[in-house]
A and B are shown apart, each in its own frame.
Chain A
């Protein structure tokens, strides 16, 4: 199991487009990928789930990947956050 604490740093937070990017990348992996914020826990492969987190700029989330390609999945998703989802 890979667990990472990530801070949302892009201006718009996890709104539709970043949520879509995460769900898209997450969907390519076999492992289970969860995002936890406060008391909510959602499936990172679900854009709706990510949106319901309401994660604005500055909030902290925990990424939990479990399965055979967990390491790689966590890395790829963290990368999206790091480059601020290519926001202009």
Chain B
């Protein structure tokens, strides 16, 4: 048994026979042609291009129908490549100058372009080489009248193994319906192939470097798209284990998919708002697909990462608007960037350099109030993007009233500025705070008048309550969100907020753990916000529990002193 690790490109498990897609090495003989034939050789080349153009038109129509608009754009790029002077001018020139055939002239041009591409270090650009080679292969196949092997005629389900897959291969994979999964030597997370696999929902592992050299046609392999591994000649036990895993995954998936249209309500009919945690890089399509009750936490830190300058108002507005317009009837709670903490090294700012204890250092609102111009840009962008009136703003790492006042002052400035322009957007935006620092929880009653809602960030709240650094392995066993103190402070937050008629959400890891989620509902939390991939699972858990029962369980749990007892009590009542 050999386990090969690559880049996980699309989740799922597949077990099956290998169909090795042989890299078509088209050997082109360098053949000289007599001078009087150069003219007809150029004509032959131009005819080949016209044929490829026609093929592309047909392909584009198919891609539009089968894969959608986004993929069809790729074909437009292929059309432009066909018009490229490197092909239309340089190739005929080479034919004349060197007296060689069209196919050898084209391959010379391609070799040079390939070398230029290999110099680029950026993966994203590097990958575009494939589009160009795909087009050129098509021209050559017309020139030498060789049919490119088709995947359409696969007679049985297979796992496709290839050095690389070209856009024209992927459309055939989709059409054949016989490809269980695929693995490739080349590729990375941003490859066309990875995006394709996710969109059609078949498992895929890419970037395996030499899988095609290690595998034989027809042998049995396992592809685990979640872990990004491929298992060659698996032993009996592994096969059995994966067959089980695959079966239960499929059942689970089918079952969860059935929940999409159902409301999130407990067994006894109490409606719970279940929302998603989202990042600026997440796919809107995937979010819409599970139709959540809203975005409970929209993280914006990524906008500031791995770059030399800060994101402009325009850039931010466009990104927020994309999410807001796609969920026009659901709240989207945008958290101003929580820069700092464990993410500090990814930012370019100097302030972070010498922080001894970054979790207690300059992060969240603390950082932004030292750089009000950055905060202003972000708030301004949220206001501008709020055309549909569904945006809410949430402030991270609040520890006192002064921070809220300072924040709101800047927000007022933004509103006044926008009101003076012709921009039409809704400036009536609710404010909320993240309660993650215990001091904010303890003085919550006095600051509630300034805000509209509260969200508990349990990950940080637990680490600050228990004084446990969540990235320090030495104390990791002390990190425990079932600690009675954690329950009590959450209870305090919920009771305080409800007294003033304000809603409470939980967007930390605690909301994604079935037992803890049930406990939070029992404590009266109004909204749970969880990662997209956990959404339907949590919906299932919430639909299985009884609300009245959980209220009682939560009350009993508040009276317990040991976290193990609390967990045991929950296990008795949360059955899903």
Q: Which residues of A contact B (CB under 8 A)?
A: 11-13, 15-17, 20, 23-24, 27, 40, 43, 45-49, 51-52, 54, 56-58, 88
Known: A11-B315, A58-B309. A48 touches B124 (CB 8 A): no
Contact B113 A52 (CB under 8 A): yes
The 8 A CB mask of B58-100 against A (1 = contact, 0 = none) is: 0000000000000001101100110111100000000000000
Contact B122 A47 (CB under 8 A): no
Q: Does B255 contact A (CB under 8 A)?
A: no
Contact A46 B128 (CB under 8 A): no
Contact B318 A88 (CB under 8 A): yes
Known: A16-B128, A20-B76, A48-B132. A54 touches B121 (CB 8 A): yes
User: Distance in Å from the Cβ of B85 to the closest Cβ of chain A?
Assistant: 5
With most chain A CB atoms within 10 A of its CB, the pick from B84, B117, B128, B132 is B84
Contact B125 A51 (CB under 8 A): yes
User: Distance in Å from the Cβ of B441 to the closest Cβ of chain A?
Assistant: 39
Q: Does B131 contact A (CB under 8 A)?
A: yes
Bound together, the chains give a CA A56 to CA B128 distance in angstroms of 13
Contact B309 A47 (CB under 8 A): no
Contact of A46 among B85, B125, B131, B322 (CB under 8 A): B85
Give chain A residues whose Cβ lies under 8 Å from the Cβ of B116: 40, 52
Give chain A residues whose Cβ lies under 8 Å from the Cβ of B120: 52, 54
Known: A52-B117, A88-B318. A43 touches B128 (CB 8 A): no
Give chain A residues whose Cβ lies under 8 Å from the Cβ of B122: 13, 54, 56
Contact B81 A47 (CB under 8 A): yes
Contact B113 A48 (CB under 8 A): yes
Bound together, the chains give a CA A20 to CA B84 distance in angstroms of 10
Give chain B residues whose Cβ lies under 8 Å from the Cβ of A15: 124-125, 128
* Beyond known contacts A47-B77, A58-B308: 7 more, CB 8 A cutoff: A13-B122, A16-B131, A23-B80, A45-B84, A48-B84, A51-B132, A54-B120
Contact A47 B80 (CB under 8 A): yes
Give chain B residues whose Cβ lies under 8 Å from the Cβ of A45: 84-85
Interface size bracket, B side? 20 to 34
With most chain A CB atoms within 10 A of its CB, the pick from B85, B307, B322 is B85
Considering only residues 116-148 of chain B, those with a C-beta below 8 Å from chain A are 116-117, 119-122, 124-126, 128, 131-132
Q: Closest chain B residue to A56 by CB distance?
A: B122
Give chain A residues whose Cβ lies under 8 Å from the Cβ of B117: 51-52
Bound together, the chains give a CA A88 to CA B120 distance in angstroms of 26
User: Distance in Å from the Cβ of B277 to the closest Cβ of chain A?
Assistant: 23
User: Distance in Å from the Cβ of A41 to the closest Cβ of chain B?
Assistant: 11
User: Distance in Å from the Cβ of A70 to the closest Cβ of chain B?
Assistant: 18
Contact B125 A56 (CB under 8 A): yes
Contact of A24 among B80, B86, B113, B307 (CB under 8 A): B80
Give chain A residues whose Cβ lies under 8 Å from the Cβ of B315: 11
Give chain A residues whose Cβ lies under 8 Å from the Cβ of B128: 15-16, 51
Contact B80 A58 (CB under 8 A): no
Bound together, the chains give a CA A47 to CA B125 distance in angstroms of 12
Give chain A residues whose Cβ lies under 8 Å from the Cβ of B77: 16-17, 20, 47
User: Distance in Å from the Cβ of A57 to the closest Cβ of chain B?
Assistant: 7
User: Distance in Å from the Cβ of A81 to the closest Cβ of chain B?
Assistant: 15
Give chain B residues whose Cβ lies under 8 Å from the Cβ of A27: 83
Contact B307 A57 (CB under 8 A): yes
User: Distance in Å from the Cβ of B73 to the closest Cβ of chain A?
Assistant: 7
Q: Closest chain A residue to B311 by CB distance?
A: A11
Contact A47 B113 (CB under 8 A): no
Give chain A residues whose Cβ lies under 8 Å from the Cβ of B73: 17
Bound together, the chains give a CA A30 to CA B318 distance in angstroms of 36
Bound together, the chains give a CA A23 to CA B81 distance in angstroms of 10
Contact A47 B84 (CB under 8 A): yes
Contact B86 A48 (CB under 8 A): yes
Give chain A residues whose Cβ lies under 8 Å from the Cβ of B309: 58
User: Distance in Å from the Cβ of B168 to the closest Cβ of chain A?
Assistant: 16
Bound together, the chains give a CA A15 to CA B122 distance in angstroms of 11
User: Distance in Å from the Cβ of B324 to the closest Cβ of chain A?
Assistant: 14
Give chain B residues whose Cβ lies under 8 Å from the Cβ of A47: 77, 80-81, 83-84
Give chain A residues whose Cβ lies under 8 Å from the Cβ of B85: 43, 45-46
Bound together, the chains give a CA A51 to CA B113 distance in angstroms of 10
Bound together, the chains give a CA A63 to CA B339 distance in angstroms of 37
Considering only residues 371-411 of chain B, those with a C-beta below 8 Å from chain A are none
Give chain B residues whose Cβ lies under 8 Å from the Cβ of A24: 80
Known: A54-B120, A54-B121, A88-B318. A49 touches B86 (CB 8 A): yes
Contact B132 A54 (CB under 8 A): no
Bound together, the chains give a CA A23 to CA B532 distance in angstroms of 40
User: Distance in Å from the Cβ of B38 to the closest Cβ of chain A?
Assistant: 23
